[in-house]
């Protein structure tokens, strides 16, 4: 009964319009399409606001959510994004329910029913992402579906926080819900809610509240669509929905057709597998021909005994984040955008593992794929009218910092600290710098939670929160800066903490056209500090940046400089740690950056003096920050001459480069070197 | 531009000559049917602390681990502009990142300019 991965991947694309839908489209009068698509967007905006205001977990409150509208067959019509990937995969459990449960006598589907799902094998991303689905009936006819989805930061897995690094199979990952009917007559069934809450015994309150928040959002959307159908008729609604999907597909194909035919490739690397630092590769070959794009991930490292996998449909949904926020951002957020896309994801690679594989870290496992998508699409779009949408990669560190324990109110929590998550640097663009602390790599509209809100809800004091100096990828246009925040365990004796953040060894974020990738991110923790004594005394020398914390060490304690990636461990009252979010990739040669913009970066503490001098080669007065343009040009010309002097020919380069190889012990999970082919079987218990 | 198309920030293709050229100085690199990187001046940046300044020392800093990653920089042999760079594990093959259908490109643009004339 469970759909196979090929079927799930096919389901992300729209079904062909039926004869009836084509007839219904004729009901739309001039202006109707424009007016009523906007009306749908307003419905979505309202449901999103309801969702965010009613929920409690940090990603929900940060806006990393989706509410969406789907056709009766499950094709995405419109969505508030939010998280584009949730909008795309939201189709799949609906299609499963429509195909499987609708006519099943023991389940069925009627007005007021509520379905719920979280299992990636049935179309989700990973089991943290819980989706509520509601059928929309008017006059007894199923005319649409609505949904509301958001990451739930606890799943009852073998570790707190829903994304266990030690998971070896899906059986270590906690609650995995195939699509079930969880409510009838517009009400959740309390016995089933209690089952979910009971499974989430590390954070029962969050589960109980957020389930209801999802339902409230999806139901408000349902009510609005019913009102629209009552006003305009069911056939009008069906015609409108199909027209939106078709408009998106036709617009997408038209645009693709204008671009240069060819093959574009990119490779990136991830530095974590399970709870170890190991190297794996993600590879993309993008073929563009006519009005179609083929995404071929052959060459990606094989599956492992870790949770860093995703299903092909989840990879495609993550690719859709770029498509819908850059290349086709002006078209409806609908399944039509995906119609011209084909995905090749070989069985047995980390993006298409065995069904028993753990995949609770699915979303962060896709960051490399997201980087590849942005880079290949940017190279494809440069020689086109869409040049302004050309960009280096977003930070893509996936700042998953998870805390758990009892908060200062005596309530059990297990949650993300969403500040870093929602403040990665944006990739630099062809015409401008990347946005500093722009948002969440999966959710461009996500916002960092308010600092005071974090302190009210959780057992932490935030010593500082700001942009992280020198974190951006340097270039003619620089990447957006990432952030740094220092959390101190407060009020309670201890808290549990782990981090899934990548990029301490090598970053999977890439620059573009000579722009540099951003810096790596170390982990910094200080145990047994004297912070409370210092605060009590009113000491004036508390650090105002992470760099000052580690270089001046005015806070006494046991300093540990390690990987930013951390297994679950205990942090005691007064212990502190730094969370960095990654900067975005740079664009273009740093020697072409306007010296005045370099000065501005210095004034805003985006970069250091070292970087201004050694990367941008700017001559300036370090007190007044006035650039000497003439001398700068001389310095830059000298650097260009130095480059020519140190550069070698291809043959000389190949001779030296082919002799190099990474250490064997980091290649355990890589596959064959260097092409990443499967070299062994994974036996799962 | 004549019969040149700008394909990246720093690279043109001369459609008549079928050559990759530097957009800044016009230097002719290599056949447009080849990987343009083969026509570049190439530098292996092994010490990444020369790009990512870090007060930290040891295995975890703000610069990638040199045993995990090196930066391969591709320059114009004539003017020294950096066309592209790649962060790669040591010895990993460089990527043939742009392989255009040159015949289609010529058909699209050369015939268009002929028709215009």
A543-599 pLDDT tens trace: 999 999 999 999 999 999 999 999 999 999 999 999 999 999 999 999 999 999 999
Interface ipTM above 0.85: yes
- Please check the confidence at residue A385 and state whether its pLDDT lies above 70: yes
Partner residue facing B104 (CB), from A261, A513, A662 = A261
> A593 by DSSP, 3-state: which?
coil
Q: What percent of chain A has pLDDT over 70?
A: 100
- Closest in A506, A656, A658 to B65, CB measured: A506
CB count within 10 Å of CB A540 equals 7
Tell me the CA distances in angstroms from A120 to A1, A66, A125, A392, A443, one per residue in order: 14, 17, 5, 29, 19
Indicate whether A667 pLDDT > 60.
yes
Enter the DSSP assignment of A203. S
Res. A114: pLDDT tops 70 = yes
- Paired strand residues for A629: none
Closest-CA distance of chain A to residue B97, Å: 4
Q: What per-residue confidence (pLDDT) applies to A568?
A: 93
- Residue A453, pLDDT > 90, answer no
Report the distance separating Cα A80 and Cα A305, nearest Å: 36
Confidence of residue B1 (pLDDT cuts 50, 70, 90): low
**Is A474 touching B (CB cutoff 8 A)?**
yes
Q: With cut-offs at 50, 70 and 90, classify the pLDDT of residue B114.
A: low
* Peptide bond connecting A82 to the previous residue in cis, omega within 30 degrees of 0: yes
Mean pLDDT computed over A123-139: 97
Q: Which residues contact A316 (CB under 8 A, 6 or more apart)?
A: A9, A12, A88, A295, A338, A341, A343
The domain limits of chain B are 4-91
* Cross-chain residue pair B42–A647, CB shorter than 8 Å: yes
What is the model's pLDDT at position A416? 87
CB B60 to CB A504 under 8 A?
A: yes
Is the confidence at residue B116, as pLDDT, over 70? no
Average pLDDT over residues A618-632: 98
Q: Does pLDDT of A414 surpass 90?
A: yes
pLDDT band at A387 (very low <50, low <70, confident <90, very high): very high
Asked if residue A536 has pLDDT above 60, the reply is yes
DSSP reduced 3-state for A79:
strand
Task: Note whether B107 contacts A: Cβ–Cβ < 8 A.
Answer: no
The model's pTM is: 0.97
Spatial CA neighbour of A449 closest among A412, A419, A493, A490: A419
Q: What is the 3-state secondary structure (H, E, C) of A138-165?
A: ECCEEEEEEEEEEECCCCCCCCCCCCCC
Chain A residues in contact with B106 by the CB 8 A cut-off are: none
**Closest chain B residue by Cα to residue A659:** B91
Give SS3 for A486.
Answer: strand
Return mean pLDDT, chain A: 97
When pLDDT is averaged across residues A106-133 and rounded to a whole number, the result is: 97
- Asked whether the beta carbons of residue A647 and residue B97 sit closer than 8 angstroms, the reply is no
pLDDT of residue B113: 63
Query: What percentage of chain A has pLDDT greater than the value 90?
Result: 96
- A172-211 per-position pLDDT tens digit: 999 999 999 999 999 999 999 999 999 999 999 999 999 9
Q: In degrees rounded to 5, what are phi and psi of residue B14?
A: -85, 110
What mean pLDDT comes out for the span A619-623? 97
| Interchain CB distance below 8 Å, B82 and A591 | yes
What are the domain boundaries of chain A? 19-158+169-247, 255-388, 391-588, 594-646
CA distance A202 to A407: 12
pLDDT higher than threshold 80 for residue B112: no
Could you give the CA distance from residue A500 to residue A116 in angstroms, rounded to a whole number? Answer: 27
pLDDT band at residue A59 under the 50/70/90 scheme = very high
């Amino acid at each position: 009964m469970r759909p196979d991965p090929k079927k799930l991947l096919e389901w992300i694309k729209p079904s062909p319009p039926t004869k009836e839908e084509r007839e219904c489209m004729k009901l739309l009068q001039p202006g109707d399409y424009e007016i009523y698509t906007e009306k749908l967007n307003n419905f979505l905006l309202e449901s999103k606001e309801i969702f965010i205001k009613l929920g409690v977990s940090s990603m929900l409150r940060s806006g990393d959510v989706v509410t969406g509208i789907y056709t009766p067959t499950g094709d995405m019509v419109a969505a508030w994004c939010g998280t584009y990937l949730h909008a795309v995969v939201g189709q799949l459990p609906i299609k499963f329910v429509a195909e499987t449960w609708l006519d099943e006598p023991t389940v069925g589907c009627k007005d007021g029913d509520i379905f719920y799902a979280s299992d990636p094998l049935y179309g989700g991303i990973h089991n943290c992402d819980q989706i509520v689905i509601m059928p929309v009936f008017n006059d007894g006819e199923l005319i649409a579906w609505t949904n509301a989805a958001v990451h739930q930061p606890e799943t009852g897995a073998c570790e707190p926080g829903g994304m266990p690094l030690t998971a070896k199979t899906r059986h270590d990952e906690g609650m995995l819900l195939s699509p079930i009917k969880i409510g009838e007559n517009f009400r959740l069934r309390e016995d089933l809610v209690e089952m979910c809450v009971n499974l989430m015994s590390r954070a029962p309150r969050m589960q109980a509240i957020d389930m209801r928040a999802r339902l409230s959002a999806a139901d408000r959307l349902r009510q609005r669509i019913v009102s629209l159908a009552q006003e305009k008729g069911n056939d009008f609604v069906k015609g409108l929905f199909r027209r939106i999907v078709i408009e998106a597909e036709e617009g997408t194909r038209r645009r693709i057709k204008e671009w240069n035919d060819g093959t574009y490739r990119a490779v990136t690397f991830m530095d974590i597998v399970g709870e170890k630092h190991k190297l794996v590769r993600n590879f993309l070959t993008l073929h563009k021909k006519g009005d179609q794009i083929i995404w071929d991930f052959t060459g990606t490292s094989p599956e492992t005994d870790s949770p860093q996998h995703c299903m092909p449909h989840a990879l495609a949904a993550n690719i859709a984040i770029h498509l819908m926020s850059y290349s086709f951002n002006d078209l409806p957020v609908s399944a039509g955008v995906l119609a011209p896309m084909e995905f090749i994801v070989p069985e047995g690679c980390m993006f298409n593992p065995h069904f028993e594989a753990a995949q609770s870290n699915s979303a962060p496992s896709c960051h490399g794929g997201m980087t590849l998508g942005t880079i290949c699409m940017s190279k494809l779009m440069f020689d086109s009218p869409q040049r302004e949408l050309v960009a280096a990669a977003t930070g893509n560190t996936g700042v998953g910092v998870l805390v758990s324990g009892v908060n200062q109110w005596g309530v059990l929590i297990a949650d993300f600290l969403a500040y870093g998550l929602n403040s990665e640097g944006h990739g630099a663009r062809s015409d401008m710098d990347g946005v500093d602390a722009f948002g969440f790599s999966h959710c461009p509209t996500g916002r960092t939670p308010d600092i005071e809100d974090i302190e009210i809800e959780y057992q932490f004091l935030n010593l500082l929160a700001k942009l992280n100096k020198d974190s951006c990828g340097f270039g003619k246009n620089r990447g957006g800066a990432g952030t740094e925040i220092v959390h101190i365990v407060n009020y309670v004796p201890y808290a549990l903490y782990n981090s899934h953040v990548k990029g301490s060894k090598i970053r999977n974020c890439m620059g573009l056209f000579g722009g540099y990738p951003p810096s790596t991110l170390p982990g910094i923790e200080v145990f047994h500090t004297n912070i409370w004594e210092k605060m009590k005394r009113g000491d004036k020398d508390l650090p105002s940046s992470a760099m000052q914390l580690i270089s001046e060490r005015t806070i006494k304690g046991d300093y540990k400089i390690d990987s930013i990636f951390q297994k679950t461990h205990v942090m005691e009252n007064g212990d502190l740690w730094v969370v960095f979010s990654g900067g975005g990739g740079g664009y273009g040669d740093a020697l072409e950056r306007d010296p005045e913009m370099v000065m501005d970066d210095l004034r805003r503490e985006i970069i250091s003096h070292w970087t201004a001098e050694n990367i941008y080669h700017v001559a300036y007065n370090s007190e007044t920050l006035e650039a000497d343009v003439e001398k700068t040009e001389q310095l830059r010309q000298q650097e260009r001459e130095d480059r020519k002097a140190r550069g070698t020919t291809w043959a000389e380069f190949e001779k030296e480069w082919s002799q190099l190889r990474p250490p064997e012990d980091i290649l355990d999970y890589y596959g064959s070197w260097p092409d990443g082919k499967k070299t062994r079987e994974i036996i799962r218990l | 531009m004549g019969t040149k198309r700008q394909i990246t920030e720093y690279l043109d293709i001369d459609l008549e000559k079928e050559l990759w050229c530097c957009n800044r100085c016009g230097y002719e690199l290599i056949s447009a049917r080849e990987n343009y990187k083969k026509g570049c001046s190439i530098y292996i940046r092994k010490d990444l602390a020369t790009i990512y300044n870090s007060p930290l020392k040891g295995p975890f800093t703000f610069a990638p681990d040199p045993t995990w990653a090196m930066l391969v920089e591709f320059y114009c042999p004539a003017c020294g502009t950096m066309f592209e760079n790649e962060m790669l594990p040591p010895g990993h093959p460089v990527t043939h990142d742009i392989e255009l259908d040159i015949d289609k490109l010529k058909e699209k643009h050369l015939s268009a300019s002929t028709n215009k004339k």
